[in-house]
Amino acid sequence: MSVQKMMRVPRKMVGGRIPFFTCSKVFSGFSRRSFHESPLARSTYEEEKVLVDEIKQKLTPDDIERCNKLRNIGISAHIDSGKTTFTERVLYYTKRIKAIHEVRGRDNVGAKMDSMDLEREKGITIQSAATYCSWDKEGKNYHFNLIDTPGHIDFTIEVERALRVLDGAVLVVCAVSGVQSQTVTVDRQMRRYNVPRVTFINKMDRMGSDPFRAIEQLNSKLKIPAAAVQIPIGSESSLSGVVDLINRVAIYNKGDNGEIIEKGPVPENLKPLMEEKRQLLIETLADVDDEMAEMFLEEKEPTTQQIKDAIRRSTIARSFTPVLMGSALANTGIQPVLDAIVDYLPNPSEVLNTALDVSNNEAKVNLVPAVQQPFVGLAFKLEEGKYGQLTYVRVYQGRLRKGNYITNVKTGKKVKVARLVRMHSSEMEDVDEVGSGEICATFGIDCASGDTFTDGSVQYSMSSMYVPDAVVSLSITPNSKDASNFSKALNRFQKEDPTFRVKFDPESKETIISGMGELHLEIYVERMRREYNVDCVTGKPQVSYRESITIPADFDYTHKKQSGGAGQYGRVIGTLSPVDDITKGNIFETAIVGGRIPDKYLAACGKGFEEVCEKGPLIGHRVLDVKMLINDGAIHAVDSNELSFKTATMSAFRDAFLRAQPVIMEPIMNVSVTSPNEFQGNVIGLLNKLQAVIQDTENGHDEFTLKAECALSTMFGFATSLRASTQGKGEFSLEFSHYAPTAPHVQKELISEFQKKQAKK
């Protein structure tokens, strides 16, 4: 039989099951694998696995047993997908809390993991919160370190820092809305830090829920092979449980809060769907797992254990995600997710973690999660507590003990661990020791987020997290009596949040704060009022523009200054040109022949380039994607010095920049708007007024999602307009996409406004 004919074999039902050998997608896996998983990604993981296996050889039986029972996981999702509600159920079923409370503080308590008053009032997670809990599975007790992260794009740094130190994640997806804008962002972050995930489709009790549409979106939008390991029993308000496809058994939640699990036979009407989706699960696994593919081609039906093993291998390899489903609010389907965390997500010994040996030319070192190894830990989050600065630490190697002295690799400072705690949201539990693979917190350590600590016997530095650029700024002025607390608040917030930036503008005499969005800055202004009693007056939000050039321009600039004694002299010759590869940023290069400019002066030129790029010639904003090449110049035997060449470089840059057809670049945002279907015309009209470019529209059962690109400068006040246009039922999210040139008339206005301000000084 030809391959083409094999691919057209119809599915046949035999005794309620689809025989394994009549599968309709015998060879489809080879094309799908190349679509979802590049050969480079696959080879990278295979190289990782070899190294992980080598590291495992260095572990003692006690290390292996300890790691096997440990999982470091995060809960991530688009805003309002129900991840905090999901986390609340996890804590309840693992007996970490005694009662379930809801988000938004509707019961005057609020979700355990939303410990800030603002979080409970607004019903959103603002800071990632850490806890730990235990789960019993098949007579074994497993220890989970759990981090609940924000879903709002403005607080994306909280997701970044959590994923940086986690070994696995649960991706929560709404059964009604499916894959949304922040789901795509979280997926990108998971890939950045090589974090495998299981997926939980939540809100299955909602009208319009469609888990299989959501799974299709996981495949098509996130480009990761995904298949259900469960199907629902009942739909929408009649949801009563789930069917376990692997074991062919029905699972029901009983008791007041779904704490009792009952298993039974699969309802007859669901058996055909169960067999169809089970077969699809096996086919998808055959696409991404070599052992399953071999069985597939040999027409062998895999056992239950072989299916589980294939899911575990391919999940850890980040080439597949198993999909579970249920409703956190209806207390349905949560316990099987806890089992899946144990079965499919890696323990600390199955993840490759590397550091750079600062004492050996930053050679790469693979860390070993053994307690007898030298201690290496990463400070990934700072928080101001009532007892001082609380520093969250992930221990990658060795152990951390109360009373130990540890060294900050970046600063060289040695500090004593006076107190060691495990966190349970805002509560603390003192411990004397934590081993490798664990997450803990400590007091009294002065450091920055991303610093590496060791026991002093090694100088290993771990890479920090990705910190995106700020896109929104506003001026902020405290009441004069609050100046001291104002400074304290700004210093604290900057240490805690790398995306929150503060600068003082000497020209306007104003303090400028910058962040990821209007909500981001609003939250900090409100926190100043609540936590520091500082009332502030804020200016209008301002766009963080960038300046760039479009054509090359040569320069030959001589800086001369005589003042009676030794003067200043520096001449630089070269070219200023645009950078084609936007990932490289600004570039400074030299190509001096014959030592016409000594190296120490060239270093000063580099500093001048960096400084002038911070404040461009057009409107005083940062310069983007410009390359400066100095290939000739001249010195004076007496008058030349570093300052002369730094000044010459800055002046040459400004002169050439204005001759290189300069442009002002503005941030373009990805906009996602979700609203009831009856307001679709209003929303489209609203976006058209803002000159947004509509990219895609998805129509659901009772609501639609519209995706567009729009200049950030037009989006201020959009929340108010959207509320008015949708009777308060619409919601939207913004995420930075790229920089693009402003319209010529906008550029003229911005330059004119800047020049007027300069003339007044």
| Residue set of the binding site for GTP | 77-84, 148-152, 202-205
Answer for the pair 198, 345: CB distance below 8 angstroms, yes or no: yes
- Give the count of beta carbons closer than 10 Å to the beta carbon of residue 181: 21
749 DSSP 8-state letter = H
b/e per residue 69-86 (b: at least 16 CB within 10 A): bbbbbbbbbbbbbbbbbb
Q: Which helix (H) or strand (E) holds 598?
A: none
Amino acid letter for position 620: G
- SS3 of residue 684 by DSSP: helix
User: How many of the other CB atoms lie within 10 Å of CB of 538?
Assistant: 13
Alpha-carbon gap, residue 357 to 365, rounded angstroms? 7
Query: What single-letter DSSP state applies at residue 332?
Result: B
Q: In angstroms, rounded to a whole number, what is the distance separating the alpha carbons of residues 244 and 411?
A: 53
Query: 460 forms bridges with which residues in the sheet?
Result: 357
The C-alpha atoms of residue 635 and residue 335 are separated, in whole angstroms, by 74
Q: Are 146 and 87 in contact (CB under 8 A)?
A: yes
Give binding residues as ranges. 77-84, 148-152, 202-205
- Helix, strand, coil % (nearest 5) of the chain? 35, 30, 35
Tokens found for residue 318: 């980040």
What is the rounded CA–CA span in Å between residue 377 and residue 4? Answer: 55
684: nearest Cα among 725, 643, 648, 656:
725
CA distances from 454 to 117, 400, 408, 432, 439 (A): 36, 9, 7, 18, 15
Q: How far apart are the first and last CA of the chain?
A: 85
- Cα gap 574→554, rounded to integer Å: 6
HEC string of 544-572 equals CCEEEECCCEEEEEEEEECCCCCCEEEEE
Contact between 175 and 203 (Cβ < 8 Å)? yes
* Chain centroid to CA 189: 4
DSSP letter at 300?
A: P
Task: Let me know: does 761 contact 507? Beta carbons within 8 Å.
Answer: yes
List, in sequence order, the alpha helices (H) in 100-202. Answer: 117-122, 156-165, 181-192
Residue with tokens 């699960």: 281
DSSP state of 517: S
Radius of gyration (Cα) for the chain, nearest Å? 29
Residue 621 in contact with residue 615, Cβ under 8 Å?
yes
Report residue 8 CA to chain centroid gap: 42
Pairing of strands 321-325, 197-202: parallel
Dist CA 716 CA 704 (whole Å) = 23
Amino acid at residue number 134 = S
